[in-house]
Structure formats: structure tokens, C-alpha cells
Copies of this chain bind each other. A is one copy, B any other.
Amino acid sequence: MNVSPETKGAPAPKSEQTRTLILETAMRLFQERGYDKTTMRAIAKEAGVSVGNAYYYFAGKEHLIQGFYDRIGAEHQAAVRPVLDRETDLEKRISGVHRAWLDIAEPYHEFAAQFFKNAADPDSPLSPFSTDSAHAREAAIDVYREVLAGSKAKIPAELEDILPEMLWLSQMGLVLYWVFDRSPGRERCYRLADRGAKLTTRGVALARFRVLRPLVREVHELFVDFLPGMTDESDAGGKSGSTAS
């Protein structure tokens, strides 16, 4: 896959409107008809743009999902400001960030369950671990970088690089649970967010014991070696953009 048009530069307001219109229309059709059954042609028609125009903004259906990921990410980054600006307690920072994600994602719950089957496949461009998702993933990991940096918890220097990714992985665990959570108001997920934050904070506290650190590194290496997108970033030593492997 090549670099998609929307990453070429800052779009003008008009084209940004068209882009948003196509994205909104696609989200609605995915929800109404299902992801698999919705074509780019149908999205273009419903949005009142030409098929060529739709493809100019989004190289395919997968790219629309990437647009959706980017949007959820942007909303999340705004929603975490109050907790990250105010709290210094690590546990509260983590649970606040998890809870903000659950708040943001709630309107998309039904839709997410629909395309989960595709997104759970690590080789699908829709997977949060894919190279196509690198942009959204890196932005999400940055949030956890700030979670750690702004807390009063002591983070061992040798774990500073990998802990943000590990925290993001725990968020992916929460997302997996969320997809299937049918409890009223996603109540089980909020409890899981709190429990997970407590556990993670205890884990970080235990990292003061030097003997444990190799284990944390190895768990991280396991993820990097076996999840395709993360491998790619590790090889490239940086953010890999939207180049597929």
C-alpha cells in the first residue's frame, strides 16, 4: 500500500469537510448494513460524491477504519487532558485514561462488535497491531508515555522505553473485553479499568526489584516479535507510517 492521499499534507478546509462527510457516511452505512456488505461505491453515492473522489480521500474501506481509529484517538487525547493535567498518582492516571477511552468509545460499541472479527486478525490492516494502524497506535502510546512521565511513581530507566507500549497493550486487552461487554452502561468494563490500573501500578512498583526487569523486557520482546506492526516499528527503529509490510 502506498502513502494515502490524506497524509500528503494539511488539507484545506473544504477538502477536510468532504473527508469528514465521507467518513461519517461510511460509519453510518457500516452500522446499518455491516462492514463486509458496504462498498466504496455505496459510500460515495450516499455521501453525494463521485467514486473517484471517495477513493481520493480513502484508498479503500480499510482506510476508512483507519480514519475512524484516528478520530477515536483524537477524541481520547482531548478527553484525557483533565486527568493528566491534574493527577500525579499513577493508578489514578491509568484508570482515568482507560475510563476516558470507555466514555469516548461508547457510541461506537455496536459498530465495533461488527468489525471485530476483522480487527482481531493481527495480519489485517484493521488490526491495532498492523503497520496501517501505526499512526493511531503511536499516538495512543504517546498518551501512556505522558501517563508515566507525569506521575510521581519511580520508573526504572531501563523500562522507560517499553512501559508505555505495555500500558497500551493492557488497553488493547480492555478493548477486547469491551467489544463483548453487554453489562448496562459497560459497568464491567469500568470496573476492569480500575482493577487493571491497580494491578499495573503494583507491577510498576515491583519493578524496583532489579531481578524482575529482564522478565518485563522479555514479555515486551515477545509482543514485538509476534505482532506484525510492532515488529516493523522495532526493525525500523521509529514510526513507520502507513507502509504495509
Q: Which residues of A contact B (CB under 8 A)?
A: 116-117, 120-123, 176-177, 180, 182, 188, 191-192, 195-196, 198-199, 202-203, 206, 209, 211-212, 214-215, 218-219, 222, 225-226
Bound-complex Cα distance A215 to B199 (A): 7
Bound-complex Cα distance A116 to B179 (A): 14
A199 touches B177 (CB 8 A): no
B123 touches A226 (CB 8 A): no
B195 touches A222 (CB 8 A): yes
Which of B116, B203, B218 sits near A215, CB closer than 8 Å? B203
Give the shortest distance, in Å, between A234 (CB) and chain B (any CB): 15
Interfacial chain B residues near A214, Cβ < 8 Å: 202
A211 touches B222 (CB 8 A): no
Given A199-B219, A209-B211, A218-B202, are A192 and B121 neighbors across the interface (CB < 8 Å)? no
B215 touches A202 (CB 8 A): yes
Give the top 4 A-B pairs by smallest Cβ distance, nearest first.
Answer: A121-B180, A117-B117, A192-B226, A199-B218
11 pairs, CB–CB < 8 Å, chain A vs chain B = A122-B180, A123-B180, A188-B226, A191-B226, A195-B226, A196-B222, A198-B218, A199-B218, A202-B215, A206-B211, A209-B209
